[in-house]
Amino acid sequence: MMGAAGSTACWRGALGAASAAFPKLDAFHPGAIWPDDRGVPINAHGGGVLHHGGRYWWFGEHKIAGEAGNRAHVGVHCYSSRDLYNWRDEGIALAVSSDPTSLIADDCVIERPKVIRNPRTGMFVMWFHLELRGQDYSAARAGVAVSHSPAGPYRFLGTGRVDPGRWPVGMSDADRRPGSIVARDLAGGQMSRDMTLFVDDDGTAYHLFSSEDNRTLDAAVLRPDWLGHDGRYARILPEGRNEAPAIFKARGRYWLFASGTTGWDPNPARLYVAERVFGPWRALGNPVRGTPEQVATTFGGQSSFVLSLPPGRDGHPRAIFMADRWQPKNAIDGRYVWLPIAWENDQPVLRWHESWTLDQL
């Protein structure tokens, strides 16, 4: 099994020797190897980006070579940038534990980490999908960690399923029947797999996640300290078999990208819109514009996050669609597909660009 040092060596071989004077980038190149400030490919898969202190902070899964990289052997990697093109390696923000009894022990699964900063406490809060070591994907838990600084180190606080003993908002008494899939998970809490975080304009933080064996997408409200759930959650897309949620707000509405449930294989993107995070959500179809293959595979990727930027001078919303091209046979070779979100008939759409800049937003 190749460790973190071996992973870096593998990538150095792919690019040639890393250099402290690696040329700066001035554009995005979707699907290409994306080097950091040392010339080593960025290792932050399934991630998200936080803006704080004049910098952007990118958090994602650190992968190693081969199929072993589909499990966590290092932790959550962090990078920082001032321009979104060039990224400095800030190290491992949350490390897996060498203690085999730890809930985040080496060889667990840590996926889709997202970080938000709580203005009330000043703390940086990381949530992620966690599967326990040796348990395949049966645990379906959410994990949380906290730090005083964006780069970490983050202190792991705990893990569990979402809102045990709570029924979803808006579920009628008739639907609270024994034998339903919600009732099945009521006592222990709802399953939480693919996930993201979203902070609304009023400061309310939401945790969106795939539940019910990936049949349903839920949204749960976090407590004021953002370190746990407050007991309110909704089945926003029940029985739709959605994963890879990526949400943003623009033009007074909430927009949600998602994918179907085809494992590591890419599938057509899905777009939804709502007036409230708890819905109701309306399906808008596939937002991808391009060749039949691009439309069918979302450019070979799967959504991970939407990075919203300040509006343009004309008030036009600006946002970046972030996706991953997974490589389960050699996890470290997964690539990033960042594309500008365009607007067509008052709806967000995605088009392919071999190269693009922020001026095009």
The tens digit of pLDDT for each residue in 80-135 reads 999 999 999 999 999 999 999 999 999 999 999 999 999 999 999 999 999 999 98
Q: Residue 324 in contact with residue 46, Cβ under 8 Å?
A: yes
The tens digit of pLDDT for each residue in 26-73 reads 999 999 999 999 999 999 999 999 999 999 999 999 999 999 999 999
pLDDT value at residue 21: 58
User: Which domains are assigned to the chain?
Assistant: 1-15+39-160 (2.115.10.20), 165-241 (no CATH), 246-361 (2.115.10.20)
In the sheet with 281-285, reading across from the earlier edge strand, the strands are 243-250, 253-259, 270-274, 281-285
Pairwise CA distance, residues 282 & 269, whole Å: 15
Pairwise CA distance, residues 333 & 355, whole Å: 20
**Residue ranges in the chain modelled with pLDDT below 70:** 1-21
The model carries a pTM of 0.94
pLDDT value at residue 241: 98
Amino acid code (one letter) for 294: Q
Using omega within 30 degrees of 0 as the cis cutoff, is the peptide bond preceding 280 cis? yes
Select from 328, 326, 322 the least CA-distant residue to 303: 322
Please report, in angstroms and rounded to a whole number, the separation of the first and last CA atoms in the chain.
42
